[in-house]
């Protein structure tokens, strides 16, 4: 392996072990496939697209659609095959990466892969935003601060005033503040206003969650044109497949479908958290996303007990501050009932 850069010597593949179970509440996916009529429309678009031809070099048509939909200048939009690629591009470009802990694992993963210096600040009590500690680290050299809002994997939503303070510091010190809005449809929040006012704010969004397109691979970034142009230049040409473009054009014609699905999941999330309030030993944390954390006396036993009942959730107890925690994605009402029934029988 002498051919490879030394910083890659400790690198290993993303630690996800696939487990089969009838009820899959472990990846924050939408429990519903794309409705059949939309799938049919996307398929006919695919049929009409020549498969022998390369797609747009930089997904120009999809960018234009996203720009129109998001009321954002086209030069400020970057579309990629998953927002993970945009995280990677940001981490590659950055002098340094600042993160919270626990956090979405790929911010650190991308920084390690890029060989970019990485620092993370623990969340404060009750999964709060450690604003002072983050502000204190935002000096020279400038870098990129990643923050999922609502936060992952805690589901917590931070006070807007604190988010704004971080954005202000980013502007003062030349940092970029990447607000990852992977779950914004479930929290009813939207940082486009902040990003319009403050050119240091970059938004990351995905089609994998509320749009129910985890298998299609698409995400986008909204930023000022200068930043978007640089990140676009870092992505390989033709990276958004014609098939993905066909699906995105279809779902963007009917965005109310994603809104309705998100509203149903929000109601289910709140129902599940309320029901767990009656559990003798498990404590569900409040969440504004399509998942929530539940603290159990023994994460391994709880995880196994749920799996025996056919329900797969994600262990998070290896993360700092998350002892005993499982992360539960919100599923269909029937799946959620099965989870609640299994949980009620466990201690
Ligand atoms: C699921 C998720 C994403 C989505 O990544 P894609 O590559 O677009 O599927 C991004 N950020 C966070 C915090 C997530 O949880």
Q: Which residue ranges make up each domain of the chain?
A: 6-30+256-344, 36-252
CA 72 to centroid of chain Cα atoms: 20
pLDDT beyond 90 at 168: yes
CB within 6 Å of ligand 1 — which residues?
28, 82-84, 104, 148, 152, 180, 182, 206, 208-209, 219
CA distance 324 to 302: 9
CA distance 176 to 61: 27
**Do residues 122 and 130 touch, judged by C-beta distance below 8 A?**
yes
What per-residue confidence (pLDDT) applies to 62? 96
CA distance 259 to 273: 21
pLDDT, tens only, 251-305: 999 999 999 999 999 999 999 999 999 999 999 999 999 999 999 999 999 999 9
CATH architecture of 6-30+256-344: Alpha-Beta Complex (3.90)
pLDDT, tens only, 10-48: 888 876 788 999 999 999 999 999 999 999 999 999 999
Site to probe by mutation for ligand 1, drawn from 26, 27, 80, 83 as the one with most ligand atoms within 8 Å of Cβ, is 83
Atom of ligand 1 nearest to the CA of 207: 8
Task: Report the nearest-CA residue for atom 3 of ligand 1.
Answer: 182
Written out in words, the top-level CATH class of the domain with range 36-252 is: alpha beta
How many angstroms is it from 345 CA to the middle of ligand 1?
A: 32
**Do residues 43 and 51 touch, judged by C-beta distance below 8 A?**
no
Cis peptide before 310 (omega within 30 of 0): no
Task: Report the nearest-CA residue for atom 7 of ligand 1.
Answer: 82
pLDDT, tens only, 95-105: 999 999 999 99
What per-residue confidence (pLDDT) applies to 17? 80
pLDDT beyond 90 at 225: yes
The residue assigned the tokens 């939207």 is: 190
CA distance 147 to 314: 21
* Cα end-to-end span (Å), the chain: 48
pLDDT, average across residues 59-74: 97
Atom of ligand 1 nearest to the CA of 152: 13
How many angstroms is it from 139 CA to the middle of ligand 1?
A: 27
Q: 122 Cβ partners below 8 Å, 6+ apart? A: 100, 101, 130, 133, 320, 321
Write out the two tokens for 312. 């797969």
Q: 66 Cβ partners below 8 Å, 6+ apart? A: 72, 77, 79, 220, 248, 252
What per-residue confidence (pLDDT) applies to 220? 98
Atom of ligand 1 nearest to the CA of 206: 8
């Amino acid at each position: 392996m002498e051919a490879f850069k030394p910083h890659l010597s400790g690198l290993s593949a993303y630690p996800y072990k696939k487990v089969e179970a009838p009820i899959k509440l472990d990846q924050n996916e939408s429990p519903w496939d794309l409705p059949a009529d939309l799938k049919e429309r996307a398929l006919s678009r695919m049929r009409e697209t020549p498969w022998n031809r390369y797609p747009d070099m930089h997904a120009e048509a999809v960018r234009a659609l996203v720009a129109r939909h998001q009321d954002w200048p086209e030069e400020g939009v970057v579309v990629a095959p998953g927002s993970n690629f945009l995280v990677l591009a940001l981490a590659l470009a950055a002098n340094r990466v600042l993160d919270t802990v626990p956090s979405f694992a790929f911010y650190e993963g991308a920084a390690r892969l890029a060989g970019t210096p990485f620092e993370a600040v623990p969340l404060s009590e009750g999964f709060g935003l450690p604003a002072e500690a983050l502000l204190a680290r935002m000096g020279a050299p400038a870098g990129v601060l990643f923050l999922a809002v609502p936060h992952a994997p805690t589901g917590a939503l931070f006070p807007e005033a604190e988010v704004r303070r971080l954005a202000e510091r980013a502007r003062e010190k030349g940092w970029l503040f990447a607000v990852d809005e992977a779950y914004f449809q479930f929290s009813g929040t939207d940082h486009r206003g902040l990003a319009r006012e403050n050119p240091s704010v970059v938004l990351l969004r995905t089609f994998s969650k509320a749009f129910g397109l985890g298998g299609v691979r698409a995400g986008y970034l909204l930023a000022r044109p200068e930043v978007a142009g640089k990140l676009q230049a870092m992505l390989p040409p033709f990276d958004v497949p014609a098939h993905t473009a066909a699906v995105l054009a279809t779902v963007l014609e009917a965005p109310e479908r994603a809104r309705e699905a998100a509203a149903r999941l929000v109601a289910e999330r709140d129902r599940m958290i309320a029901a767990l309030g009656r559990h003798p030993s498990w404590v569900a944390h409040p969440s504004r996303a399509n998942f929530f954390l539940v603290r159990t006396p023994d994460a391994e036993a709880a995880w196994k007990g749920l799996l025996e009942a056919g329900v797969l959730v994600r262990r998070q107890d290896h993360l700092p501050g998350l002892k005993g925690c499982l992360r539960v994605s919100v599923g269909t009402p029937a799946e959620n009932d099965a989870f609640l029934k299994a949980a009620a029988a466990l201690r």
